[in-house]
Amino acid sequence: MLISVKDLKKDFINDEVITPVLRGVTFNIGMGDFVSIMGPSGSGKSTLMHILSFLDKPTGGKYLFEDRDVSQLSDDELAEMRSKKVGFIFQSFNLLNRSSVLENVMLPLVYTNISAEERVRKAKALLEQVGLSHRLDYSPNKLSGGEKQRVAIARALINDPEVIFADEPTGNLDSKSGAQVMKILQDLNDKGHTIILVTHEKATAEHAERMIRIKDGDIIEDCAVDCRQRADDKEELKK
């Protein structure tokens, strides 16, 4: 099992006031799965993603990644896991405007032993994969929103991660660009990549094979997407 979470909890403490954000969630994600974590603002979905991607630590419960207990890892080990095991795609793209598209994609390789020639080769191959081989020398501020997100996808893939975390990847895009980005994510999943998609948009979440719905820090539904669609259809018939 790639990811195993059991009774995971996260509390935030401010001036001795404890606010529970995750109240004890349990689920597994296998290698090659495409899972969406869906919920409204404040539901705990982003906090959950931060824990799963080694950016934060839980208050309680268990999180195993490839059978390793993440709570036992040091900060240096967590940083190594982030750099080698996961790729990130953000709503705001997080690209460097003073660097070219090619340089942005190569950025995660800066602290590796990969040669300069191999970095360029890998980055060019990934940019061709996302349809941007004609934009290598452009700066990100000369790209459309959809193109920026495709650069971010190429960057997320550069270290051959075990899992790709996509946090509201279509949030700043028009419907056409958003559809293109989701098609790329689906193609990556078809090739064996594990995708964990965090979103508040039902239509985006339904591109995944499985949907985990969170509300007020609890999982209220964990279902295959076609199962979720059948339930929605039944609700429509009742109206």
Single-letter amino acid code for the residue at 45? K
Mean pLDDT is lowest, of 1-5, 139-143, 200-204, for: 200-204
Confidence of residue 234 (pLDDT cuts 50, 70, 90): very low
Give percent of the chain with pLDDT exceeding 90. Answer: 82
pLDDT of 231: 54
Which of left, alpha, beta for 56 (phi over 0: left; psi -120 to 50: alpha)? beta
Q: Helix (H, G, I), strand (E, B), or coil: what is residue 98?
A: coil
pLDDT of 189: 94
Confidence of residue 237 (pLDDT cuts 50, 70, 90): very low
pLDDT of 226: 79
pTM greater than 0.75 (yes/no):
yes
Query: H or E element: which one contains 124?
Result: helix 116-129
Q: Helix (H, G, I), strand (E, B), or coil: what is residue 123?
A: helix
230 pLDDT higher than 80: no
- Read off the pLDDT of each residue in 67-94 and give the average, rounded to a whole number: 91
- Are the CB atoms for 176 and 109 separated by under 8 Å? no
Q: Helix (H, G, I), strand (E, B), or coil: what is residue 222?
A: strand
- Read off the pLDDT of each residue in 49-57 and give the average, rounded to a whole number: 93
Confidence of residue 7 (pLDDT cuts 50, 70, 90): very high
pLDDT of 196: 97
pLDDT digits (tens, 9 = 90+) for 148-173: 999 999 999 999 999 999 999 998 89
- Read off the pLDDT of each residue in 125-141 and give the average, rounded to a whole number: 96
Query: H or E element: which one contains 68?
Result: strand 68-69
